[in-house]
Amino acid sequence: MRNRSGRLFGVVVACCAGAPFASGQQTGEAPSVAPITPTPKGLQLTTGDYTWKFGGYLKVDVIHDFDNIGSTDSFDTRTIPTSGADGTDGDSTRIHARQTRLNLDVRGPTSAGPFRAFVEGDFFSDQNGFRMRHAYGTIGPVLGGQTWSTFMDEEAMPETLDFESPTAFPLIRQAQVRWTHQLDDGNYYAVSLEDPDSDVIPPTGVLGTAKEPLPDVNGRVFWKNPLGHVQLGLYSGMARFDPAVGSPDDVWLWGLNLSAKIATIAEDSTIVQITYGDGVGRYRGGTTAAPDANGDLEAIPTLGLLGSYEHHWCPEYRSTIGYSWGDADVPDGAPPTTTSEEVSYGWANLIWQFCDRAWTGVEYLYGSRQTFDDERGHANRLQFSLRFDL
């Protein structure tokens, strides 16, 4: 029997050694080693001073789970079952194209400064429905609409085939009004008011409503350097539980995120992120606050760590390997199984950029979850993806 993995390894080695990539190359010609860089994406039209660009991509994912997990279309480690439920009966296969997305980008001048309007959606909604990802406009330094939170670093997101991506760093799109001040050499800082949306666990047996008394106030400072960038993100907010009988219980929320993307050797790069704060877990879908032993509301202290490395084997092949870990100090009054206390997410992939508008790849994923009552679970997944850029 022929060794298929050996054949794949041979292809990668041959490519990196300068073997012909494009069909039709004549024997004896010098092999091309120029990187396959994506062409300007989208269909672009110009009307007067304005440019309209229609873009996006089509992506299909083939996913095989070796253990039970609640999220079959993305690797959300918060849905890993515990109490021994992740047994050998977890084998399942799923094929979907829900990550496919479409966008419209409009740019041009105005009397108050450069104008941009951007709208994007994908099909990660109920029954493959089209949903809004981004919808915002900018004029000069002012932004309004829904897009990535000012608190997070969208330029320090490692490449994964999985749609969820590593769980232990801020990753959220929400409505906001933002002001950005540009500094010299590409540096800048920004502040914003953003939509508060906390997940609050009420005291056991107490009727009431979780409320958002104030908007989140977020900021970032971005420093550029010859090797990449460093960013500090800051977050503050408030969560409230208003019982049917008695006075409202408020807690202050805060967080910081220190992130960096640094070039290393040739085309390689590394990403690191550290996130810490009280209630900061809500910036990745975690629980914001829960009752303590006395039934008083308490923000949940959360620590998240992320590290990844992207390596370019040759112009057509690249890989990313990484690990993220998050820990939450859940108050004693929370029901034991209602929230995750610790999650981890590890991955390694190989991507073949076989032309300027398409790539395919394979990725291995491992995740674990521990609940407040010390029950644990784990999950293993293998994913194949094929993507076509518009």
> Is residue 50 a part of any domain in this protein?
no
Confidence check: pLDDT of 205 > 50: yes
d(CA 262, CA 229): 7
pLDDT digits (tens, 9 = 90+) for 219-269: 999 999 999 999 999 999 999 999 999 899 999 999 999 999 999 999 999
> Is residue 142 a part of any domain in this protein?
yes
Q: Strand pairing of 297-299 and 301-314? A: unpaired
pLDDT digits (tens, 9 = 90+) for 99-150: 999 999 999 999 999 999 999 999 999 889 999 999 999 999 999 999 999 9
pLDDT digits (tens, 9 = 90+) for 31-66: 333 334 444 578 999 999 999 999 999 999 999 999
Q: What is the pLDDT of residue 337?
A: 67
> Is residue 118 a part of any domain in this protein?
no
Query: pLDDT category, 27, cuts 50, 70, 90?
Result: very low
- Inter-CA distances, 72 with 64, 209, 284, 349, Å: 9, 31, 18, 19
Domain harbouring 226, CATH code = 2.40.160
DSSP 127-172: GG--EEEEEEEEETTEEEEEEE-TTS-TTS----SSSS--SSS---
Host H or E run for residue 344? strand 340-355
Query: Residue 381: which of 364, 359, 357 has the closest Cα?
Result: 364
> Is residue 127 a part of any domain in this protein?
no
pLDDT digits (tens, 9 = 90+) for 141-179: 999 999 999 999 999 999 999 999 998 899 999 999 999
Query: Residue 305: which of 170, 169, 171 has the closest Cα?
Result: 169
Q: What is the pLDDT of residue 171?
A: 96
Strand partners, 80: none
> Is residue 348 a part of any domain in this protein?
yes
> Is residue 250 a part of any domain in this protein?
yes
**351-379 average pLDDT score:** 94
Domain that holds residue 316: 59-96+138-389
**346-366 average pLDDT score:** 97
> Is residue 15 a part of any domain in this protein?
no
- Total tally of structural domains belonging to the chain: 1
